[in-house]
Amino acid sequence: MSAETIQTRQNKRVGRRPHSLASRVHKLLVKRGLTLAFAESCTGGLIGDLITDISGSSAYFLGSAVTYSDNAKQRLLGVRATTLAAHGAVSATTAAEMAQGARQIYGADIAASVTGIAGPTGATPGKPVGLVYIHLSAEGAEWGERHQWDSDRIGNKVLAAEAVFRLLLRCLAG
């Protein structure tokens, strides 16, 4: 597959909206002199990819841990085994521990996380395809959200990325 084909597929898959949201986050982070990190599960690195598409993101972006497995969430981010056993990987508690872990390991001012079920498989009773939890951790502040979308796998990933950027914008604006 050529680089041109990959780029065309990415543009069709992602569109312009997440890039626009990422650009707005970029401007606020630069203006405030804050650093940012991510912990991603169901988005598989998409959020970090979108932020690094912006020239100058190295001024504030420290990194993104893609922790798809429970083991990676525990070993890299410090998510507790008891949290995973009690709540599962797709939960508000896990999302919070992921964001807090990313903030700690990267030494970032702000860290955001996402965990969910992109689909089309993976649903369980009480946890349908499209269920996503996002969390933002900053000094003295924690914000979390639950979302449920009815899209395909790629759509759910894009919608999750957009939700993370919207949460970042609300927190940075306040």
Q: How confident is the model at residue 99 (pLDDT cuts 50, 70, 90)?
A: very high
pLDDT cut 90: percent of the chain above it: 87
Q: If you average pLDDT over residues 20-34, what whole number do you get? A: 96
Q: What is the mean pLDDT of residues 5-13?
A: 38
Residue 143 exposure: Cα atoms within 13 Å on the Cβ side:
17
- The residue count of the chain comes to 174
For residue 6, pLDDT beyond 60: no
**Helix, strand, or coil (residue 37):** strand
* pLDDT score at 5: 32
Mean pLDDT value across residues 45-68:
97
Would you call 48 helix, strand, or coil by DSSP?
A: helix
The whole-angstrom separation of Cα 76 and Cα 100 is 12
**Average pLDDT for 43-55:** 97
pLDDT computed for residue 14 by the predictor: 43
Handedness of CA 132, 42, 25, 33 (dihedral sign): positive
Tokens of 129: 């395809």
The string over 53-72, giving b where at least 16 C-beta atoms fall within 10 Å of a residue's C-beta and e elsewhere, is: ebeebeebbbbbbbbeebee
Task: State mean pLDDT over 119-141.
Answer: 95
Confidence bin at 132 (pLDDT 50/70/90): very high
CB 71 within 8 A of CB 64: no
pTM for this one? 0.90
pLDDT at position 158 is 96
Structural domain count, the chain: 1
Structural domain boundaries enclosing 8:
3-173
If you average pLDDT over residues 56-70, what whole number do you get? 97
Winning range, highest mean pLDDT, from 95-99, 124-128, 170-174: 95-99
pLDDT band (50, 70, 90) for residue 19: confident
Helices and strands (H and E) in the chain: how many: 7, 5
Tens-place pLDDT, residues 139-172: 999 999 999 999 999 999 999 999 999 999 999 9
Q: What is the CA radius of gyration of the chain?
A: 15
In the predicted structure, residue 16 carries a pLDDT above the cut 80: no
Neighbour count for residue 141 (Cβ, 10 Å): 10
Q: What is the CATH number of the domain that holds 63?
A: 3.90.950.20
- Token pair for 159: 């919608």
